[in-house]
């Protein structure tokens, strides 16, 4: 697990630094789309880093209490650090899905409606991301704040131990047993993720339909190829995120409908491996795909020297043919 945490930290930091350097070098007006993508990819890397913070907290506590956890279990679950770790993990997961939603919608608009004036600019993208972060910080830390107020106010919807229901400090509704605030956990975790992936799926259906209906034209074709290339790269990120969250959504819905009863080990495995692995894989996956597309585009570039040489030969042949036509 420490390998996952270290690789996620290094990978996401490299993505953030490289994207910022690349963004500073973009000066032409044609790079507005790349700037929006850079902002969103950087935001995704920051979200993944927050998941690493959660993972490091849980791993450190596991090392500290190893061999004597049962003596401190009650205190750990009700500690502020456990609540903070759960809020950070929730914030990371939801902001990550929201960023992928924005990436998908942006690609769909650029490919399906290339001449539309309604699209994400760098400024509007930052405003939307800023508002989204404020909303998710409030939603993620509301159970923590309510837990503090619980001792002074009679309102106790979240109870005194919302994130500390399990030892991994994550409010995943993977069982039929309903703790205080389980509806809130189901709505923010399962409901929002399901809605997010539905929006992403619709966006990519629009993209594929638009590609099939695309008309010819050199300039438009060149621009469309670039947009499709970006959509494919983002599609790989969405696929890995879907592979991590879909089993959790399926397990939660099945447990709520009483289709199955999941053991405690599944809960721990989901919180410690399935969710964090996505934060570790994303930066490397995007970098590898980016390099592959760059190499392919280089291979497909025409050889300028050979093209010029062919043109010179053709001109010489025409010049040689002209005197013969005049002699006749």
Return the pLDDT at 303. Answer: 47
Which pLDDT value is given to residue 159?
76
| pLDDT score of 127 more than 70 | yes
Number of Cα atoms under 13 Å in the Cβ half of residue 311: 6
Residue 224's pLDDT is 62
pLDDT at 175: 77
Look up the pTM and report it. 0.78
- Write the pLDDT tens digit of every residue in 70-108: 888 888 888 889 889 999 999 998 898 899 889 888 888
pLDDT over 60 at 325, yes or no:
no
Cβ(293)–Cβ(24) under 8 Å? no
Taken in order 35, 36, 41, 43, the sign of the CA dihedral is positive
Smallest Cα–Cα separation from 142: which of 125, 122, 163? 163
Q: Are 180 and 159 in contact (CB under 8 A)?
A: yes
Distance in angstroms (rounded) separating the CA atoms of residues 208 and 45 = 27
**256-302 pLDDT per residue, tens:** 887 877 787 787 888 778 888 877 777 777 666 666 655 655 555 44
Asked if residue 159 lies in contact with residue 184, where contact means CB atoms within 8 angstroms, the answer is no
Is residue 307's pLDDT more than 50?
no
| Nearest residue to 176 via CA among 252, 250, 248, 270 | 252
Return the exposure string of 203-237: e unless at least 16 CB atoms fall within 10 Å of the residue's CB, then b.
bbebbeebeeebeeeeeeeebbebbbbbbebbbeb
Closest Cα to residue 285, out of 14, 37, 52, 86? Answer: 14
Q: Is the confidence at residue 218, as pLDDT, over 50?
A: no
| C-beta contacts of 65-69 below 8 A and 24+ residues apart | 69/167
The per-residue pLDDT for 305 is: 46
pLDDT at residue 290, rounded to an integer: 63
- Domains of the chain in start order, with CATH, are 2-302 (1.20.1070.10)
Residues making up the chain, counted from first to last: 328
Q: How many CB atoms lie within 10 A of CB 138?
A: 11
Cα three-residue angle 187-189-193, rounded to 5 degrees: 100
- Per-residue pLDDT band for 129 (boundaries 50, 70, 90) equals very high
Region 100-127: mean pLDDT is 83
| pLDDT tens, position by position, 14-63 | 888 877 776 544 445 456 667 888 888 889 889 889 988 998 998 898 88
Which pLDDT score is estimated for 317?
Answer: 55
Ramachandran bin of 301, using left for φ above 0, alpha for ψ from -120 to 50, beta for the remaining angles: beta
Residue 255 has which token pair? 């447990």
- DSSP code for 293: H
pLDDT at residue number 144:
85
Nearest in space to 41 (alpha carbons), one of 97, 100, 94, 121:
100
Contact 243, 273 (CB under 8 A): no
Render pLDDT for 160-194 as a digit per residue (tens, 0 to 9).
Answer: 788 888 888 888 888 777 788 888 888 888 889 88
pLDDT, residue 137, reads 93
């Amino acid at each position: 697990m420490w390998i996952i945490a270290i690789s996620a930290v290094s990978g996401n930091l490299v993505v953030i630094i490289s994207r910022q350097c690349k963004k500073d070098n973009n000066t032409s007006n044609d790079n507005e789309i790349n700037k929006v993508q850079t902002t969103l990819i950087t935001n995704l890397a920051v979200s993944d880093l927050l998941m690493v913070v959660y993972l490091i907290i849980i791993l450190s506590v596991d090392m500290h209490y190893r061999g004597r956890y049962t003596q401190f279990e009650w205190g750990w679950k009700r500690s502020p650090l456990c609540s903070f770790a759960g809020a950070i993990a929730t914030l990371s997961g939801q902001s990550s899905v929201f960023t992928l939603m924005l990436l998908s919608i942006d690609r769909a608009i650029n490919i399906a409606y290339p001449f539309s004036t309604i699209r994400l600019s760098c400024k509007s993208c930052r405003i939307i991301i800023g508002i989204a972060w404020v909303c998710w910080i409030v939603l993620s830390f509301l159970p923590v704040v309510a837990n503090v107020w619980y001792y002074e106010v009679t309102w106790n919807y979240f109870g005194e131990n919302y994130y500390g229901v399990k030892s991994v400090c994550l409010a995943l509704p993977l069982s039929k047993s309903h703790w205080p605030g389980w509806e809130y956990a189901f709505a923010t975790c399962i409901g929002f993720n399901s809605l997010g992936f539905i929006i992403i799926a619709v966006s990519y259906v629009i993209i594929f339909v638009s590609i099939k209906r695309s008309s010819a034209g050199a300039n438009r074709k060149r621009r469309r190829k670039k947009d499709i290339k970006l959509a494919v790269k983002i599609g790989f990120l969405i696929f890995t995120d879907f592979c991590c969250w879909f089993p959790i959504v399926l397990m939660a819905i099945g447990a709520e409908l009483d289709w199955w009863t999941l053991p405690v080990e599944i809960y721990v495995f989901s919180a410690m491996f399935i969710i964090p692995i996505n934060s570790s894989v994303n930066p490397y996956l995007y970098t590898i795909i980016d390099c592959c597309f760059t190499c392919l585009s280089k291979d497909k570039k025409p050889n300028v020297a050979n093209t010029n040489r062919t043109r010179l030969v053709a001109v010489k042949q025409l010049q040689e043919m002209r005197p013969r036509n005049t002699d006749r």
